[in-house]
Structures are given as structure tokens and as C-alpha cells.
Structure 1
Amino acid sequence: MNKLRVDLDLLLESFTLEKEGVCKEYLDTLTGEVINIPMEVAEAVENYADEEELEEWQRILMEDAQAIYDDKDGRYLSIPTIQDEFSNKLITDFVNNFINEEQLKEKFLKILQGKNSVSAFRSKLYNYPNLSDLWHDFEERRLKDNIVQWLKAFDIEVI
């Protein structure tokens, strides 16, 4: 198993960041660094575009983007976004394990049946500050466990 120093909090941010159409994020499996490549930079590398068309701050990222694009050895792992199914299961586990009042439990579980269930759950949860704090601790612990399992699938152990 490859031991790697990884900032789990930063990786957690990357897993939960809604990045569709904005950026791509990668984990460098040699350094443990999380690399954020804006879509404009990734597209410039993929399409062999002229760097001059990019802003200065974007040109700085071209070297990393090129290394990621050229990677054939699996050094850079694309960091996935947490899927709604995982979030819904997490919420269901939380509600079933931490809410004892049946009516309240039913309210929260019913939210999961509608559209935008995750954001609806979070909005409703803010009406219950004690549960909200408990949720954030629970969610962070479970997400970090999920990240550690994701890393293990690539034979990486966090040190």
C-alpha cells in the first residue's frame, strides 16, 4: 500500500464541490496535492490552444494541466463528486439513527422523496440547531470514511 500525506479536509472539499462545467480536480498520487484545473485551462490543453488566449493566472496552471493530460501511469486521479444517492443514504442513516421523534423522522424522510432532496433536507435541518450540529459532525465523519475507502481502492493509505 502506497502511504501518502493527504489533506483530508481539502480532499473533502473537492469531493463535495459542485464542479460541473467549472473545473476538474485531481489528486497527485506522488505528492498528495489536490490540483484544481479550471475548464478553460483543461480545454486549452486538450485542444492545443494558444496559451496567449488565457489570462495570466490561467497560464500558470497550464503546466499542471499538461502533466495531467499526458499522464499515462495513473499519477493523477480525477476526484469524483459525491453523488446524490450517497448523500440520500447518508441522510437516511442519520435520520434513522439520530432522530427519535417519529413525526419529525417521517418529515425528514419524506423530503428525500422530492426534488433537490439534499438541499431541502439541509434547509429544513437549520430549524433544528441541535440536530444541525450533530448532522455536520456525522456527515463529515462519514464523508472522510468514504474518501479513505476511495483512496484504498487505488492502494493509497493516508498518513
Structure 2
Amino acid sequence: MNNLNIDLDLMLELSLSETRGEGECYLNLNDGEFSYIPQSIIEALKDESKFDKLESWEKELATEAEDVTMNYSDNYLYIPLIDESILVNSMKSYLDTLSPNDKNEIYSKVDWSNPLLTFNRVLINKDKLDEFYTFRDEFLINHLIDWLKENNISVVK
């Protein structure tokens, strides 16, 4: 097992579609650092004609991106976005921490066909959104730790 000192809060941020953006993120398996590659650079690596259109900072980053994705790819692990089903599980697990009345009231008001859109709105009205985000972040960090273990990585704190 590979023992790495990993900033789990940053990893969480890079694993959520709401904060990651359209780029790709990789974990360096040697030092636990992250490499974020914007979509514009990914496209330029696939189509060199787009390289000239990159800004100067993007061109500098393109060398690192090429190392991450091609030259030294065995030293990096792609970090996927957290799946919607995991996010929904965090919502349902949060509801299990509430009183039966609050749980039933919130559960009945959420449109479970589109919970990512409606869950937060319902919690805002109950003044529980901050409490949920604290719970959710801990839930998702535990999910990331399990995912890292599945990839033979142990988090050193």
C-alpha cells in the first residue's frame, strides 16, 4: 500500500462537479500532490493545432499535463468526479441523523427524481443547509478515503 499525505479537503473540492469545472484532476502517487488540467489544455494535447491558441500560462501548464497524461502516467491516478448516487446517499444518510418528524417532513418535500436540485432548497427553509454541508463533506471524505484504499493508497495524517 502506498502511504501518502493527501489534502482531503482539496481532493473533495476537485472531486465535485460544482467546484472542479470541466478539467481533469490527477493524484501524484509519489508525493500526494494534485495536478489539475483545464479542458483547453486537454484539447490542445489531442489536437496540436489548438496549442497556438492557448494563453502563455496554459502553454507552461501543457508540459506538466503532457507528463501527467502521457510521459509519466504510471505515477498519477485519475480522480473521477463523485457519482450522483454517492451524493444522494449522503442526503439520505443525513436525513437518518434527524428527528423522525424532521426526516419525514424533509423527505416528503424533496423531489427524489431530481434531488440535487431540490434537497438544498428544502434544507434552506428548515435552516439546516450548513449542518448538511458539514455532514456531507465528512461523508464524502470518508467515501474518498475508501476509494483511495481500493486503489492501494493509505492516507497519512
- TM-score where L is the length of structure 1: 0.85
> Which one of 133, 136, 139 corresponds to residue 136 of structure 1?
133
Aligned twin of 1:12: 12
Aligned twin of 2:112: 113
Q: How does 1:40-119 map to 2 (within 5 A)?
A: 40-49=40-49, 51-71=51-71, 74-101=74-101, 104-110=102-108, 111-115=110-114, 117-119=115-117
Question: Match of 1:81, SS?
Answer: coil
Q: Is the 8 A contact 1:46 1:69 kept in 2?
A: no
Aligned twin of 2:150: 153
**Structure 2 unaligned runs (5+)?**
none
> Which one of 121, 124, 129 corresponds to residue 122 of structure 2?
124
In structure 2, distance between residues paired with 1:56 and 1:66: 16
Q: Is the 8 A contact 2:13 2:19 kept in 1?
A: no
Deviations 1:45-74 (A, max 9, x none): 122346332111211211111012215653
Q: Going by fraction, where is helix more abundant, 1 or 2?
A: 2
What letter matches 2:145 in structure 1? V
**Structure 1 unaligned runs (5+)?**
none
In structure 1, distance between residues paired with 2:79 and 2:18: 12
Cα 1:147/1:155, change in 2 over 3 Å: same
Deviations 1:69-89 (A, max 9, x none): 215653221111111111111
In structure 1, distance between residues paired with 2:98 and 2:50: 55
Question: Match of 1:74, SS?
Answer: helix
In structure 1, distance between residues paired with 2:33 and 2:50: 27
Cα 1:128/1:59, change in 2 over 3 Å: same
Q: Is the 8 A contact 2:14 2:20 kept in 1?
A: no
- TM-score where L is the length of structure 2: 0.86
What letter matches 2:84 in structure 1? D
